[in-house]
């Protein structure tokens, strides 16, 4: 089922994002996380197409990622949104094969992304912008197209306004909804949503949330994707974290519990103020995400949503 149809029928949707295993020994962790999170009846799940997980960004890697999406759809009976990046599509033949695989695996939901521009080395891809890929996919079949967006702007964008204009181009080229990069301060989402409406972006914008389970994890992510850490969150984690080490089991549990409570608070406020759902970045782990969603479920018990 197309995700845009679910967004029209339901007051909210919940989804989980996984990434392809980098090594064979990582596969059991992914399958375990998928099995455990499936019990929460997500409206859809997605599989990233991270350059770090793709050997040379060749088509064998691309097809393996799409095949993994097919496995989640058919083996686990999940609605899957496949990721497709411009940087992996070096020529029309690769594009044709990618579209063919999407149809073979029954993947009708696609997140169209530019991908990491640093991964483009020798061969220029056929598309340089996600909006171009979205338009092409829309013309090639009955795909439901999603777009990525950035409440604190994409690191390479000249301004937030320019980034929102880019999101509108994606919408105009066929994207029917958007999913945000993770953020840690809900104010950034609410402000972003208002600015999007003011600039003509009318598609649903699903907020992306990641439960924090460690201070180093948080600071590394924040630096890599250029998101701000609220002072109150950083102060709380620093207070819980030992200065010289990761700490023992009690410390780790305290940090995890705080991160779960913080993420659940984010979700409650977002849903209360009209967010169309929550997209959880799971890091291929299930416990923290399950705990957050179970807390949120108590607040929305009795709604029309299946969760």
pLDDT in tens, 195-240: 999 999 999 999 999 999 888 888 998 998 889 999 999 999 989 8
pLDDT of residue 56: 44
Is the confidence at residue 181, as pLDDT, over 90? yes
pLDDT of residue 57: 42
pTM for the whole thing?
Answer: 0.91
Distance CA 134, CA 82 (A): 13
pLDDT in tens, 65-105: 888 899 899 999 999 999 999 988 888 999 999 999 999 99
pLDDT band at residue 141 under the 50/70/90 scheme? confident
Is the confidence at residue 24, as pLDDT, over 90? no
Distance CA 281, CA 267 (A): 13
User: Mean pLDDT throughout 10-37?
Assistant: 89
pLDDT of residue 247: 63
134 vs 27, residue with greater confidence: 134
* Look-up of token digits 């291929």: 284
Is the confidence at residue 58, as pLDDT, over 60? no
Mean pLDDT, rounded, of the chain? 88
pLDDT of residue 221: 86
pLDDT band at residue 304 under the 50/70/90 scheme? very low
Structure tokens at 32: 């375990």
The domains of the chain, with CATH numbers, are 3-300 (3.20.20.220)
* Look-up of token digits 């070096």: 90
pLDDT in tens, 32-41: 999 999 999 9
226 vs 123, residue with greater confidence: 226
User: Mean pLDDT throughout 47-75?
Assistant: 70
Is the confidence at residue 273, as pLDDT, over 70? yes
8 vs 88, residue with greater confidence: 8
User: Mean pLDDT throughout 278-293?
Assistant: 94
**Active site positions, annotated:** 17
* Look-up of token digits 């059991």: 28
Contact 61, 55 (CB under 8 A): yes
């Amino acid at each position: 089922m197309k995700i845009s149809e679910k967004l029209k029928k339901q007051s909210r949707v919940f989804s989980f994002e996984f990434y392809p295993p980098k090594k064979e020994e990582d596969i059991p962790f992914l399958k375990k996380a998928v099995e455990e999170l499936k019990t929460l009846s997500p409206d859809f799940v997605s599989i990233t197409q991270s350059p770090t997980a793709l050997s040379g960004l060749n088509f064998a890697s691309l097809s393996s990622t799409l095949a993994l999406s097919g496995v989640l759809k058919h083996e686990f009976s999940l609605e899957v949104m496949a990721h497709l990046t411009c940087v992996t599509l070096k020529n029309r033949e690769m594009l044709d094969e990618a579209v063919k695989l999407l149809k073979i695996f029954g993947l009708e939901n696609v997140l169209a992304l530019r991908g990491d521009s640093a991964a483009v080395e020798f061969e220029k891809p056929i598309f340089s912008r996600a909006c171009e890929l979205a338009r092409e996919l829309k013309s090639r079949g009955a795909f439901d197209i999603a777009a990525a967006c950035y409440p604190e702007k994409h690191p390479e964008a000249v301004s937030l306004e320019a980034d929102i204009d880019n999101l509108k181009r994606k919408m105009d080229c066929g994207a029917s909804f958007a999913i945000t990069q993770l953020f840690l301060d809900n104010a950034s989402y609410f402000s972003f949503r208002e600015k999007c409406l003011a600039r003509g972006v009318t598609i649903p914008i699903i907020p992306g949330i990641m439960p924090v389970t460690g201070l180093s994890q948080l600071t590394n992510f924040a630096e890599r994707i250029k998101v701000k850490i609220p002072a109150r969150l950083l102060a709380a984690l620093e207070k819980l974290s030992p200065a010289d080490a990761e700490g023992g089991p009690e410390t780790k549990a305290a940090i995890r519990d705080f991160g779960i409570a913080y993420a659940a608070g984010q979700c409650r406020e977002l849903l209360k103020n009209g967010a169309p759902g929550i997209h959880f970045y799971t890091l291929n782990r299930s416990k923290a995400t399950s705990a957050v969603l179970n807390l949120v479920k108590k607040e929305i018990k009795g709604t029309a949503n299946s969760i």
